[in-house]
Amino acid sequence: MTLNGARRSDATGQAYSQLSELIAGGEFEPGARLKESALADLLGVSRTPVREALRRLAADGLVEMHPNRGAQLVSYTPQEIADMFSVRVTLEPQASALAVPRLDADGLAELTELADRMAALVRGERDLQSVGELNRAFHERLLEASGNRALIAAVRAVVRPAVVHRTFHQYSPEALARSMAHHQEIVAAAREGDPEWAKSVMRTHLIAARHTATGGAS
């Protein structure tokens, strides 16, 4: 990679992180148009890294890209969010149960590290951007370990990173700590080789997240 390419990559990464935090923090109204020129001025960068950052955010499900109209922040109703989580509550605990007997030492070590890193971030600097990324990796690792391709595809079809990411910013300190404890307990269940324990904790984990994301709508 050339020096200019490295600088452009750094600028894109910075713009991506800043925009993710602004979106998660509610700085833009749901459905708002995200104009490249205005965002470039806001972030103090050129339009090129903003454009590339918006493409990454579109891949994450945070924004939608429309021909000739640019980027627009996604918007979901509380009921739509509740419906997404309800499907996850039905499917993802089963994936966790299937994953437990299939996890080898390396898989358990990876889950442990992800859970520990999330907990440390919550106790320390509360870097919710990083917590969200680690959380996504944790759930993905368990999902992949299930070995059930139909189940994996079904869960991925309803997971909306935008919703999950913004949910972390709605947690109270107590709720966030409880969520991190759920991750630790799922790892403990996996270490004990107990699928039903892992299934039960994942269900509780997702129900709690649904209440936070929707304000109790169901």
9 and 108 both lie in a single domain:
no
Clarify whether residues 62 and 88 are in a common domain. Answer: no
Q: Which of 12, 44, 73 is the last residue of a domain?
A: 73
H/E stretch holding 73 reads strand 70-73
Domain's final residue, options 29, 56, 73: 73
Count CB atoms within 10 A of the CB of residue 37. 10
Instruction: Tell me which residue has tokens 């499900």.
Output: 61
Retrieve residue 46's tokens: 């050129």
Q: Are residues 45 and 87 in the same domain?
A: no
Same domain, 11 and 55: yes
Both 144 and 94 in one domain: the answer is: yes
Are both 102 and 38 inside the same structural domain?
no
Of the residues 73, 97, 128, the one at which a domain ends:
73
In this structure, are 174 and 128 located in the same domain?
yes
Q: Are residues 41 and 104 in the same domain?
A: no
pTM of the model as a whole = 0.73
From CA 48, how far away is CA 54, in angstroms rounded?
10
The predicted model gives 35-39 an average pLDDT of 94
Please, which residues have CB within 8 angstroms of residue 202's CB and are 6 or more apart in sequence? 92, 93, 96, 142, 182, 186
Contacts of 44 (CB under 8 A, 6+ apart): none
Structural domains in the chain (count): 2
Q: Output the pLDDT for position 218.
A: 47
- CATH number of the domain within which 26 lies: 1.10.10.10
Calculate mean pLDDT across residues 25-42. 87
Between CA 65 and CA 55 the distance in angstroms is: 8
* Phi, psi angle pair for 40, to nearest 5°: -60, -45
pLDDT at 111: 98
Q: What's the domain range around 146?
A: 78-214
- Taking residues 102-127, report their average pLDDT: 93
pLDDT band at 170 (very low <50, low <70, confident <90, very high): confident
Q: Is there a single domain that holds both residue 169 and residue 184? A: yes
The arithmetic mean of pLDDT across residues 163-182, rounded, is: 86
Q: What is the pLDDT of residue 206?
A: 96
Are residue 66 and residue 22 in the same domain, yes or no? yes
Does pLDDT of 201 surpass 70? yes
Q: Which of 213, 127, 212 is nearest to 174 (CA)?
A: 212
94 and 172 together in one domain: yes
Alpha helices in the chain (DSSP H): 3-24, 36-43, 47-60, 78-99, 105-123, 128-145, 149-158, 161-168, 173-192, 195-214
Q: Looking at residue 183, which CATH number applies to its domain?
A: 1.20.120.530
Are 68 and 92 contained in the same domain? no
Note the pLDDT of residue 162.
65
pLDDT tens profile 131-168: 888 998 999 999 999 999 999 999 988 887 667 767 77
